[in-house]
Amino acid sequence: MAEQTEAKIPTVIADGVDIVYRVNGTGAGRGTATAALNRIMRRKQAEKAAGVRRVHALKKVSFVAYKGEAIGLIGTNGSGKSTLLKAVAGLLPVENGHIYTHGQPSLLGVNAALMNDLTGERNVHLGGLAMGMSREQIKERYDDIVEFSGINEKGDFITLPMRTYSSGMAARLRFSIAAAKDHDVLLIDEALATGDRKFQVRSEERIRELREHAGTVFLVSHNNKSIRDTCERVLWLERGELRMDGPTEDVMKEYEAFTGDKSDKKAAPKKAA
Amino acid sequence: MSQVLDTPPPTQASADDDLAALAARHGLSVSGARPSLPEYVRQLWARRHFITAFATAKLTAQYSQAKLGQIWQVMNPLLNAAVYYFIFGVLLGTSRGVPDYIPFLVTGVFIWTFTQSSIMAGTRAISGNLGLVRALHFPRAALPISFCLQQLQQLLFSMTALVVIILSFGIPVTPRWLLALPALVLQSVFNAGVSMIMARWGAKTPDIAQLMPFVLRTWMYVSGVMWSISKLTKKDHLPHIVTVLLETNPAAVYIDLMRYALIHSFHGKQLPPHVWAAATGWALLAGIGGFIYFWKAEETYGRG
């Protein structure tokens, strides 16, 4: 048993994390020009008076993620799942607490770096470079990326501009580019919902591979099946609070009872924790 | 012997100290912290291929839907020059007294456009690419630098058009043309520096992008793009301070340097005094200062 403890290497540690969003111009009648001026003039004063609303998105969230784990993040809409991912990626400042990570966690997503007017081929290069791959690495993996995406299954589409792709094709190419890199800590936000069933199965396989190479995978999804297929541990967030943290089946049962999801027959509806 | 669970139980607030200690023991670092300046430079250098690829991609994407395609890269500056020539050369007759007015004007317009669009692009470099900044990790300075590089590539297209114009006016090719290279390098560094300053401002207050066109237009009119500064300062009626300001204006310095390099009839005595010192000084000041200023807010970009 002692061995088991030794073997567990933490990759992400969240220590009492609070995240607060500040939104400008929300108060009633605050959208006017005078209100905006007022806001600028009174910047140093209390935020409330200046019409800034504070949204407390995460409250005292603590957990430790270990190497080799795939962790699902579940919760109803607006419960703070994506916020937590962004904070782990270091893209959002924490109000209180700390997030410690091993290496640089990366969000799975290169959408923003890709350009619709360029060919798929050039987008593979651009996306790879944006993720910090070297040119040699991209050259090496180029064929794999294209093959995985299945873009060329129906003809030579990779040399066409991405704006000519169907939305499913584009999503598949984006996922393939994003998944081409090995990450220390990989954060995935609902990426598995893209593409046809065949591609989804391939994506799940690829995520398992990434997990073996990488270390830790976080997956946000509303698809309970893909959480069950991919993750062995689940964090359940509700209203910004960590409500449950445990083995997938335990947490999913409670969660399904909570959301009233009857699709899973095994989950006997009982009172949520 | 304590029981080891497959997964740790939900942690309580009381475990806070343990978590920090655990992080320290395994050498974990705080997520999203700003790297040191040398480290930042190293990261930026590691992303150099991304910077160039992003610039080229933006440039190519610009005209990819046009029928004439990349021909617009050269057509655009030519048409621009034609409009300015029509207004200032034909309608207003500013050309009087300036030899080779059209090459003089076109050089001014192109060199000015390089600075102007670099600064404009820099202002929107962060605020206009929040998606990219929020999704991927890279030194954010890559964005303003990449946009400046795109403008430099654009300028090189313009310069081919310029060379055609200059040669068609019978202006001889002289060894002075070699001076165009250092002038361009210094201007690029200056532009990149100013873009990074503007990028930081624009990231915090996107409203600045609305204001910049007016600032830039005013700057253009005092930079001698369409008229000769040396002709104006030769007259005595100007207060000394105005003369100094006109002559040290970085835009005017870079424009006149390029004119001096390419146009044979543009004499050395038309250049502002200590022109190379001014060009180098502005480049270093803006380049280094802008870079450090931008880096200081690195961890704040794309947040909130």
Instruction: Specify the pTM.
Output: 0.81
Contact in structure between B183 and B278 (CB atoms under 8 Å): no
CB-CB neighbours of A267 under 10 Å = 17
The least confident of A39-53, A157-171, B34-48, B153-167 is A39-53
Mean pLDDT estimate for chain B: 85
Higher pLDDT, A24 or A43: A24
List the single range of A51-60, B8-17, B76-85, B172-181 with lowest mean pLDDT.
B8-17
* Record: contact A90-B58, CB cut-off 8 A: no
The distance between the two most distant Cα atoms of chain B, rounded to a whole number of Å, is 97
Decide if pLDDT at A264 tops 50: no
Across chain B, where does the E strand assignment appear?
29-30
Please indicate whether residue B44 or residue A78 has the higher confidence score (pLDDT).
B44
In sequence order, the β-bridge partners of residue A237 are: A242
Which of B12-16, B79-83, B124-128 shows the lowest mean pLDDT across its residues? B12-16
**Which ipTM score applies to this complex?**
0.76
Position A254 scores a pLDDT of 87
Residues ≥6 apart with Cβ < 8 Å to A87: A14, A17, A19, A58, A94, A99, B31
Residue B117's closest CA among B62, B161, B172?
Answer: B62
pLDDT of A225 above 90: no
Contacts 24+ apart (CB under 8 A), B217-220: B219/B116, B219/B249, B219/B251, B220/B112, B220/B116, B220/B251
Edge-to-edge strand order for the sheet containing A106-107? Answer: A106-107, A185-189, A216-220, A70-74, A233-238, A241-247
pLDDT at A271 (0 to 100): 43
Chain A residues with CB under 8 Å of B131 CB are 111-112
pLDDT at A214: 66
Q: In this complex, how many residue pairs, one in chain A and one in chain B, have their CB atoms less than 8 Å apart?
A: 156
Distance from the A160 Cα atom to the nearest Cα atom in chain B, whole angstroms: 12
* Cβ(B118)–Cβ(B199) below 8 Å: no
Most confidently predicted of A14-18, A19-23, B153-157: B153-157
pLDDT at B17: 63
A34-61 mean pLDDT: 70
**The predicted structure's pLDDT at residue A110:** 65
Provide mean pLDDT across the span A55-74. 88
* pLDDT digit string, tens, across residues B258-271: 999 998 888 888 88
Task: Say whether pLDDT at B176 is over 70.
Answer: yes
Chain B within 8 Å of A25 (Cβ-Cβ)?
Answer: no
Nearest chain B residue to A235 by CA: give it.
B10
Q: Where are the alpha helices (DSSP H) in B26-100?
A: 37-46, 48-62, 72-84
* Contact yes or no for A140/A134 (Cβ under 8 A): no
Residue A144 has pLDDT above 80, yes or no: yes
Confidence label for B256 from pLDDT (cuts 50, 70 and 90): very high
Residue A241 forms beta bridges with which residues? A238
Task: Report how far residue B3's alpha carbon sits from residue A95's, in angstroms, rounded to the nearest whole number.
Answer: 34
pLDDT for res B10: 46
- According to DSSP, the β-strands at A96-101 and B29-30 are antiparallel
> Which of B:107-166 have CB within 8 Å of A?
129, 131-138
Q: Which of B3, B60, B136 sits opposite A118 (nearest CB)?
A: B60
Q: Rounded mean pLDDT of B192-211?
A: 92
Q: What share of chain A is helix, strand, coil (3-state, %, to 5)?
A: 40, 25, 35
pLDDT in tens, B242-253: 888 888 899 999
pLDDT at A50: 57
In contact, A156 and A204? CB cutoff 8 Å? no
Cβ A253 vs Cβ A224: under 8 Å: no
Distances (CA, A) of B256 to B25, B176, B224, B226, B261: 60, 13, 9, 12, 8
Contacts of A165 (CB under 8 A, 6+ apart): A120, A151, A157, A173
Burial degree of A215 (CB within 10 A; 0-12, 13-18, 19+): buried
**Is A172 within 8 Å of A194 (Cβ atoms)?**
yes
Interface mutation target, options B31, B48, B60, B210, chain A, most CBs of A under 10 Å: B31
